[in-house]
Amino acid sequence: MATMAVRQARVRPDDIFFPAMALLMLGIVFAGFAKTYFLAGMMAAKLPNVLVHVHGAVFVLWILLVVAQTSLVTVHRVKWHMKLGGLSVLVLPAMCILGVLTLFDFIRRAQPEEGPEVLRVGDLEILTLFLSLTVWGLLARRDGASHKRLMILGTMAIMGPAVARWNFGVSATLGILLGLPFVVLAYDLWLLKRVHRTTAVAVAANSAWVLTVLPFSKLAFWHHCVEWIRHS
């Protein structure tokens, strides 16, 4: 009984909250891509080309990595967490390169009336935000509170494509993406009675991209970029 009591005492709010956030994001991704990717057999799914297949596999690998890493910390396997974290150094640049290449591929395949400017601006912004927050998180890995927040909030930045496939409309999609990081902010207020600095920066940056994606996509510069990509 004494041993059980000690184990229960070691369970911190973080040990529940951050794995729950990782599982929530896994659920968001599964719900968004269930029909076209997961339930279609993943690598057997009828996607446009090999590039899109590789892109999907690597992005799913990242989500699973986040789930595994948060779970390892919860069960006090910190050494395993640190070893597995080395995989992030390989997956992060691969995700960014594949994200840009897949975006260019989509623009070349899209019809002019499909308005790829919005997607291009949005995807480039979320890739930039994702890379900035997760790299910061890796650099701050010795600061546990900052590290776990940055990795979760950085991963939240790439939820856009999955949420968009729920077909709730642009306004609802942007609203969900705007509100998702506020869950971490609310957790900070409940646990710390203040907002952690990394949460504040990430929420502000996420709000900036959500609120600027539509105005930026209407600039002539982006239309010229899309035309250049189409004909390059």
Residue 5's pLDDT band (boundaries 50, 70, 90)? very low
Kindly report, residue by residue over 144-158, the tens digit of the pLDDT. Answer: 999 999 999 999 999
Residue 1 — pLDDT band, cuts 50, 70, 90? Answer: very low
- pLDDT tier for residue 6 given thresholds of 50, 70 and 90: very low
Name the one residue in this structure whose structure tokens are 């911190």. Answer: 12
Residue 214 CA to chain centroid, in angstroms? 20
Find out whether 208 and 202 touch, Cβ atoms under 8 Å: no
User: Where in the chain are the domains?
Assistant: 11-231
Exposure string (b/e) for 89-98, b if CB count within 10 Å is 16 or more? eeebeebbeb
Confidence grade of residue 220 (pLDDT, cut at 50, 70, 90): confident
For residue 2, name the pLDDT band (cuts at 50, 70, 90): very low
Q: Mean pLDDT across the chain, nearest whole number?
A: 87
pLDDT of residue 169: 84
Q: Which DSSP letter does residue 158 get? A: G
Question: 111-121: per-residue pLDDT in tens?
Answer: 655 555 666 77
> What would the pLDDT profile of 176-205 be if each residue is shown by its tens digit?
999 999 999 999 999 999 999 999 999 999
pLDDT score of 165 more than 80: yes
Average pLDDT over residues 54-76: 94
pLDDT for res 9: 47
d(CA 133, CA 213): 19
Task: Give the pLDDT band of residue 206 (cuts 50, 70, 90).
Answer: very high
Amino acid at 149: R
Q: Work out the average pLDDT over 157-165.
A: 92
Average pLDDT over residues 21-33: 96
